[in-house]
Chains A and B, each alone.
Chain A
């Protein structure tokens, strides 16, 4: 098993053992229940149970779990409030779900042997497209065709010839930057961990003095693991705050400039 382990193998999406046959097909595409599907189901259930069961209505002095649930709630609420203002709070359920989904995916992906849902560009890009679609829908619902003023900054007309295409391109690349940022961070971190884990195995099985040297990459793994815990939270935060910033633009156009 250790022989076939490569740093990239952990990102392989494959049907769970014994579920090699597609469950059904959608437009000719077979749908499997994969290792990633399992982790997404676990993420959704663990997050739902955690945020529901730790909180008891009427318990004013919180337990440790309730305190964490409340802290995450208020963290996101304050984030939306500071980034978009009062009227952004109606998007709270969406931003909260996004943050919690990414956060739990990142953290549960840190458990050895599990799978990191957010290390898949398909997932992060789908989430980013959801955000941008929401931004576009909200923008047009709020401002009608005036939403297109988002692409027209306050500048002389001869500069606009240059600026409008830049604004349009920057808007269109948002789903890419949003999704690649999360995907690449998770992928890089987990690849690094796997590479150093490979060193430990290689040195450990080399014999002689090398066996003792295996402690060096082992310590590095511990250090990187701590760093990855920070990155796991940070990337969930970045994903959520950027969502808020994009929603703010849809709601208020360039008002805050």
Chain B
């Protein structure tokens, strides 16, 4: 069995035949295949496989946690934005309320001032009316007196007679 294999180094062609079909080489081939394949299998199974798998898993974990962190940050940013919007809306509503209140107080003050001014004007008008009335009465009285005096003077100048003021007043009244 060993004989042809040993001579094969010197003269491979002499044996003839197709090299892969030389059965005397099979035991050595199978033996070394078993050894080397078993070695490779154990290394890949126990060392290389877990090592590569570990890297791939940790990378996937890192990517996932990064994505989760980014997701969380986005959520926070969105929450902050929403809170800002709420605060903004609140401030706007408050400002509008203040403006409205101001306007109402102003309107009330204006109305009060207007009412007071109107009341004062009405009072002044009434006082003026009264003054006008008294003045008219007085004026009327003055006119009557003047007329009486004028009448006395006219009578004196025309007739030379003197008339009493009472008579003159009577005459003026009758005229």
**Could you list 28 examples of A-B contacts with CB < 8 Å?**
A4-B13, A9-B13, A12-B19, A13-B28, A14-B5, A14-B9, A14-B12, A15-B9, A31-B31, A33-B32, A36-B25, A40-B35, A43-B40, A48-B44, A51-B43, A51-B52, A57-B55, A58-B58, A60-B55, A70-B55, A73-B52, A73-B56, A96-B49, A97-B41, A97-B44, A101-B37, A120-B20, A121-B20
B-to-A contact residues, CB < 8 Å: 1-2, 5-6, 8-9, 12-13, 18-22, 25-37, 39-41, 43-45, 47-49, 51-56, 58-59, 62
- Beyond the given A9-B19, A62-B55, A100-B40, please list 9 additional residue pairs across the A-B interface where CB-CB is below 8 A: A13-B28, A22-B2, A31-B27, A34-B25, A44-B37, A44-B40, A47-B44, A57-B54, A127-B33
**What is the minimal beta-carbon distance from B37 to any residue of chain A, in angstroms?**
6
For the complex, would chain A's binding face be called helix, strand, loop or mixed by DSSP majority? helix
A37-B32, A70-B56, A92-B49 given; A15·B20 CB < 8 A: no
Tell me the dominant secondary structure on chain B's binding face: helix
CB of A6 within 8 A of chain B? Answer: yes
Top 8 A-B pairs ranked by shortest CB distance?
Answer: A29-B27, A93-B45, A51-B48, A37-B32, A44-B36, A11-B19, A13-B25, A48-B43
Q: Which of A8, A17, A21, A119 has the most CB of B within 10 A?
A: A8
Residue in contact with A93 in the complex, picked from B5, B49, B54, B58, CB distance below 8 Å: B49
**Cβ proximity bits A195-223 to B, threshold 8 Å, 1 near / 0 not:** 00000000000000000000000000000
CB distance A40 to B45 under 8 Å?
Answer: no
